[in-house]
Chains A and B, each alone.
Chain A
């Protein structure tokens, strides 16, 4: 199975800041990397698919990049509603494993 490792596990930032979350895969993913946001008590919400493509309705302050085994999710000008847990997920091979999550907290 492909192992997904996110860093950091938690992150504190202020409204208006820009942050970056990293996701590393145990083997090359050929850009088959997705990002999800989850708020407490809610189902996950798809933000980015295929490493860089923004899901419809997701604000443009979210962006994704990367290739091979290293990928990043960037959020610029943080808004109050962005404080949540973020997960990467590979869809290169089964099982489609998730990273352990990164909790983004308000400083």
Chain B
């Protein structure tokens, strides 16, 4: 069964740090692009970060640049999100997701979408 399981969430004070983990199983993690998406309480989805298969490309939403770091361990089939200098506005459910590559009808064109999601882990930043 294809599965992603997040862990590492919890309550942390403003300015603190937390490291989220995402354990992958049932598919070839080492050849999969991965991402983190978050959802603040009662709010919509926010794309947070992305990492290529070998870690050579990483992108972040502006609001977390310089504070969050996405990484992976292909030998352990694991994705991580190191979150530093946490703020109240980082409070959210954090989902890891596989970003799958689809072939488009036109030659040489590919589409990307998040086809597998974890159940989420809750991060609460509060004093």
B104 within 8 A of A: yes
Q: What residues on B are CB-neighbors of A94 within 8 Å?
A: 50, 59
Distance from B118 Cβ to chain A, minimum over Cβ atoms (Å): 7
B111 touches A55 (CB 8 A): no
A96 within 8 A of B: yes
Q: Which A50-107 residues have C-beta < 8 A from chain B?
A: 50, 53, 55, 85, 87, 89, 91, 94-101
Q: What residues on A are CB-neighbors of B18 within 8 Å?
A: none
Distance from A91 Cβ to chain B, minimum over Cβ atoms (Å): 5
Measured CA separation A76–B109 after assembly (Å): 29
* Known contacts A95-B59, A95-B61, A96-B50; is-contact A46 B113 (Cβ 8 Å): yes
Contact of A50 (CB < 8 Å), options: B45, B104, B114: B104
Q: What residues on B are CB-neighbors of A46 within 8 Å?
A: 113-115
B44 touches A100 (CB 8 A): yes
Chain A-chain B contacts (Cβ-Cβ < 8 Å), number: 67
Contact of B111 (CB < 8 Å), options: A1, A44, A50: A50
* Known contacts A43-B118, A50-B104; is-contact A34 B47 (Cβ 8 Å): no
Against A, the Cβ 8 Å flags (1 = close, 0 = not) of B107-121 are 000011111011110
Distance from B27 Cβ to chain A, minimum over Cβ atoms (Å): 14
Distance from B37 Cβ to chain A, minimum over Cβ atoms (Å): 8
Instruction: List A residues at the B interface (Cβ < 8 Å).
Output: 1, 31-32, 34, 36, 38, 43-46, 49-50, 53, 55, 85, 87, 89, 91, 94-101
Measured CA separation A99–B46 after assembly (Å): 9
Chain A residue nearest to B117 in the complex (CB): A43
Against A, the Cβ 8 Å flags (1 = close, 0 = not) of B86-122 are 0000000001000000101000000111110111100
Measured CA separation A38–B93 after assembly (Å): 13
Against A, the Cβ 8 Å flags (1 = close, 0 = not) of B34-73 are 0101000000111100100000000111100000000000
Q: What residues on A are CB-neighbors of B117 within 8 Å?
A: 43-45
A1 touches B118 (CB 8 A): no
* Known contacts A43-B118, A44-B117, A49-B102; is-contact A95 B47 (Cβ 8 Å): yes
Could you list some 16 contacts between A and B, CB below 8 A? A31-B104, A43-B118, A44-B37, A44-B114, A46-B115, A49-B102, A49-B112, A50-B111, A53-B111, A87-B44, A89-B114, A94-B50, A95-B60, A96-B35, A97-B47, A101-B44
